[in-house]
Amino acid sequence: MGKDIYIGVDLGGTKIMASPLRLGRNLKILGKAKNPTRSKSGYKTVVKDIILTIKQSIENAKINSRHIKAVGIGAPGAVDVKRNIILKAPNLGWENIKINKLIEKELNIPVYLDNDVNLGVLGEQQYGAARNSKDVVGVFWGTGIGGGLVLNGKIYHGYIFTAGEIGHMVISSDGKLCNCGNRGCLESYAGKWAISRDWFEYHNKTDKKPGKYALLKSKMIKKTFADNDPFMTELINNACNMIGITLASVVNLLNPQTIVLGGGMIESMNEELTPLIISAMNQHIFKSAKVEIKTAELGDFSVLTGAGVYARQRTN
Ligand SMILES: [Zn+2]
């Protein structure tokens, strides 16, 4: 057992990262490899590149591949974890793609897939900010707002694997149009794309099509907010308020021990944003409820760490 190694892979829209991991009391990342995701060349090219990245990471770690028990892969989209099928990955242009068999054939070890956000939360739950909690909700605030649930130490997928979509919880019944096609989702107010939309609309520089706005840079948002720009202050306060209200519903529904906040917005403005979110949340949670809010710790390694943990859970 002590020598068992699991490989975690983060298949992103722009890059593939892989690391062999030793998953003891502490996490040991034994090696690293990274390659671009050439999604335009078709899924078979991407599969070849995943295999290449895994092999490079094994070489980089200088380990005996006999000790590798399984591979876990985090994919950017909905995954049928029972049949190992990527149902829909808009960033890659994939629908109903099965990649594990091709990789298993080449490497001769089992390969398991799951959604990248779910795995990021699992990574944080096992080795990151929430390592002392069994019940964890993860919220990743970036361009959109991703979420994942780890309940009793396991990812909660739901009936057809769509659980955890915190960004699409409804906060206004006939609210703004969301990228998902519905109205009034949290993301359509607080996602960075929505903040950018409002900013450009306010400054009259937009074609007003949802999802077609230029994205503001995190640095620009941070600076404008720090300079007390009145409109940016309003946008940020409103976004934090909406996230806090949504988290209050999450706490009232699930009573998790820990909520982990991560993603580009939090990485850039944790000190400014987290207190605003907590204060909005506290106004709406049950008076008897209690929850810890933590900042994600694993950064770029959260997904591949969770992928390794997931591969181990599926193997044992
Ligand atoms: Zn939505």
Quick check: helix, strand or coil at residue 177? strand
The secondary element (H helix, E strand) that includes residue 260 is strand 258-262
Best CATH choice for the domain 129-296 from the list 3.20.20.70, 3.30.420.40, 3.40.50.300, 3.10.20.90: 3.30.420.40
Long-range contact pairs involving 208-211 (C-beta distance under 8 Å, separation at least 24): 210/177, 210/178, 210/179, 211/179
Per-residue pLDDT 10s for the chain (316 aa) are: 467 999 999 999 999 999 999 999 999 999 999 999 998 999 999 999 999 999 999 999 999 989 999 999 999 999 999 999 999 998 899 999 999 999 999 999 999 999 999 999 999 999 999 999 999 999 999 999 999 999 999 999 999 999 999 999 999 989 999 988 999 999 999 999 999 999 998 987 655 555 566 899 999 999 999 999 999 999 999 999 999 999 999 999 999 999 999 999 999 999 999 999 999 999 999 999 999 999 999 999 999 999 999 999 999 8
Total Cβ atoms within 10 A of residue 122 = 32
Closest C-alpha among 265, 292, 267 to residue 278? 292
Distance 212 CA to ligand 1 centre (A): 15
**Neighbouring-strand partners of residue 115:** 75
Distance 169 CA to ligand 1 centre (A): 7
Distance 219 CA to ligand 1 centre (A): 26
Helix runs in 30-91, H state only:
43-61
Distance 242 CA to ligand 1 centre (A): 14
Residue 165: partners with Cβ closer than 8 Å, 6 or more residues away: 147
Distance 274 CA to ligand 1 centre (A): 23
Distance 18 CA to ligand 1 centre (A): 31
How is the chain split into domains, by residue range? 5-115, 129-296
Q: Is the dihedral of CA 107, 316, 13, 268 positive or negative?
A: negative
Q: Do the domains 129-296 and 5-115 match in fold?
A: yes
Which residue, chain included where needed, has tokens 């506290």? 282
Distance in angstroms (rounded) separating the CA atoms of residues 249 and 137: 12
> Under CATH, domain 5-115 is a member of which superfamily?
ATPase, nucleotide binding domain (3.30.420.40)
Q: What is the DSSP letter of 5?
A: E
**Neighbouring-strand partners of residue 140:** 146, 262
